[in-house]
Structure 1
Amino acid sequence: MIEFKTPAEIQRMHVAGRFVAEVLSEVGRLADVGVNLLDLEHHVRGMIKQRGAESCYWDYAPSFGRGPFRNVICLSVNDAVLHGLPHDYTLRDGDVLSADIAVGIDGWMADSARTIIVGTAAEEDLRIIRATEEALEAAIEMARPGNRVGDISAAIWAVARDYGYPVNTEFGGHGIGRTMHEGPHVSNKGRAGRGLTLRPGLALALEPWFARTTDQIIYDADGWTIRSADGSRTAHAEHTVAITEDAPLVLTRRASEAPAARAGSTGHLSAQDA
């Protein structure tokens, strides 16, 4: 179902979005060499409880997972990119960590993800993170009234092509509001001028994710964690965005986050924000 929100409802989503941004900033601050994924999970549980928020992940049981999901954040390391099940793993120097979280506050949801490097950063890892960040900003720029869903998909795909990364189309962005997953689906690959026409009040979770050398995925034995099929490293970036009469409103922007400017495959490699 596709639902259009009033300005007041968008502001209520923004409350959840600001909290999601706070959580991801805290994860970025805490993730370090020697930190266990389960410690990050339990810290985030505490933040959610203290805020009086509701995890969108707890007891989530979609058709593709081995549910119900019994964690509050997805933590995916290196070649893992989506739905990473927090487990007994201690972060090592050079690990690439993707953190994805969705919460509800007073019945309104927000969803966001970021990828960071633990300790020493390899240039090729910075590059794929930068690509997903640029793709996300290109997608956000297309989230304007009169454009179509395909314009967002095409913008993401264009950045991936510039960097030489293949694009998987099995998982992508989605509508969001009273529930975590609403219509429409927003593929990370598509043709401009196709699909639903965007209107003010539509809220979308836009989430480009790339693997370095494949568009194929495999699942871990846990039934949730999705990895690149060839073991190549991955990155994931996501924001919840509301379409307004004016500019797109990013509901989950982190306070220290500078939007990635489109630079292409030879562009500057961004440092990680806290």
Structure 2
Amino acid sequence: MSTSIPVVLIHGLWIHSNSWQGWMDLYRQAGYDPIAPGWPGDSGSVDETRQNSEAVGDQGLDDITASYIDVIEGLDAKPIVIGHSFGGVVAQKLLADGYAAACIVIDPAQIKGVKAVPLSQIRSGFPVLSKPSNKHKAVVLSQHQFRYAFGNAIPESESDELFNRWAIPGPGKPLFEASTANFKKTSPAAVDTKTDSRGPLLIIGGGSDHTAPESIAKATRKLYGDSNATTDFQSFPDRGHSLVFDHGWREIADYTLAWLKRQGL
């Protein structure tokens, strides 16, 4: 049985879980026990996932969350969960429902209650939301679309390299669920933000993010205002949506490690 605190890293839409490898190595060196499971339907590699795109179609937030609950229930201890983009929504759900000891969300997609819909977010989601039939399909970003949605704050050559290395097909369903969350009484994008019994939460926003603009991260932080549990916010003003796997990932990862240390974890 491991005595290290487990860490579950949850990737976002259109990015393979292997993109967390740098974080895995760093967290292991810091004494944690990290894992980075993929979403339901993801294959073990980028190429395999691209070749089997239909396997990821029609996977919604509840399906993705349930798959991580299954993983967590097999661990020796309650983990720290770290989520990027829609992985940040899943991570918040896990924290609120008592499956995580602490939670870090980085450029999170919107949860129910967040009303900010910046123009750049609409443009980033347009390849999916423009076609209602995409709700039940896997959607692939083009290199140009990836550049706008993920790589706008880094050199174009690096954006293209990251696209070739990590981009995979993603289910359209989470985008539809998030975009309609505020119009439904119940939604898979709903999170209990008022509970006092959860562990500490850190929300990180990238000031140059097109896909999940910092205004979403700030609005998310505001929703937690009625909770007495620890909720911290940190901005990285010059960072875009690729911040967890581009050349500057280490700055973000080091900050999260320092924050966890302050929480006694």
Question: TM-score normalized by structure 2?
Answer: 0.29
Judging by fraction of residues, say which structure has more strand: 1
